[in-house]
Amino acid sequence: YGQVRLVSNYGCDEHDFESNDKEPWVALVSRGICPFGTKSANAGKAGAIAAIIYNNESGGVSGTLGQPSKYHVATFGISDKDAAPYIEKLKGGLPVDSIAFIDATVDTIRTTNIIAQTRGGDPENCVMLGGHSDSVAEGPGINDDGSGSISLLEVATQLTRFSVANCVRFGWWAGEEEGLLGSDYYVSQLSAAENQRIRLFMDYDMMASPNFAYQIYNATNAVNPAGSQQLRELYEDYYVAQSLNHTLIAFDGRSDYDAFLRSGIPSGGIATGAEGIKTAAEAEMFGGSAGEWFDPCYHQLCDNLSNLDMVAWEVNTKLIAHSVATYARTLEDFPKRGPAVTAESLTDPRSDVYHGHKLIM
């Protein structure tokens, strides 16, 4: 039991939950921007005894808190319609009480990464690329990330017809939607020597958003491991050569490249947009609808076979093939690897499960 307090913003920052309550209180917070687990943990850190997450769009809320945290509090979701009258009261300064009885379970679910490597090519200089094979519970994930997974599979299939100078390794990651779990585990298990053998990693997540933009992660050698900028430039040069516009997006740890970056491995990648809003300038550059999500079905049931732009998918699959062909042939002009950062050398390999402020479970 406790007084309900309306949380400012989305509850993704601890300061959103500032409260001087000495009596038990319950946080009422909007869904969106960051994982449910982050909202619950921030509520717990602020002294709340429970958290209610209401939907910021039509319908109910379902999900998990992800990896257990000592800061998590009892958490449940309600629909936008159910939340509306209470939000109105709270904004009007009226008190709202909450009584809830909540049971929680923590399940251990085993899943598997799929790793495939060419038989030929220098095993001391491996070109690696990946995409995630899972989806959120709310939808089938045909664009996120069935599109990237199938692009990788097609490139791998076609690569069997060719010889390579450098080994090529493909990764289909499990548990991305629960916190980049598969890729994080894979990198954490690499020895220093194995880490050094991976010359670069390229991430391909969401290749066919219906309201797409051709997006490139804005990697720089000044901030990221040396070689990351060369990957960005390869993508830029390809789009320019095809007379296609492109835009740069934040390289903030939102997808499976995160663990590779943190372990000193040069990384890069492309995307076509998720829940971000397409601007008028981007609509001019790429077509589509300004003011709408790049993927209107992002993390929803409608992310099905009809939720794909086939032109963008074909363009990006060819770009993936180009990236593999370029570095499978030669790494002569690619920067030498810097020091490996292994799990053993990290004092805190992951202080929180997600890196990047726009992750949504």
Coil, strand or helix at 16: helix
Cα distance between the two ends of the chain? 28
Q: Which is the catalytic residue, given 14, 138, 176, 282?
A: 176
Q: Tell me which H or E stretch contains 108.
A: none
Q: How far apart are CA 200 and CA 125, in angstroms?
A: 9
Residue type for position 236: E
Tell me, yes or no, if 314 is annotated catalytic. no
Sign of dihedral through CA atoms 269, 275, 277, 283?
A: positive
In three-state secondary structure terms, 32 is coil
Q: Residue 346, Cα to own-chain centre: how many angstroms?
A: 22
Give the helix/strand (H/E) hosting 156.
helix 148-159
Cβ atoms within 10 A of the Cβ of 64, count?
A: 18
Q: Which of 101, 45, 46 is nearest to 69 (CA)?
A: 45
CA pair distance 353, 263, nearest whole angstrom: 16
Beta-carbon count within 10 A of 14 CB? 14
Give me the active site residues, please: 176
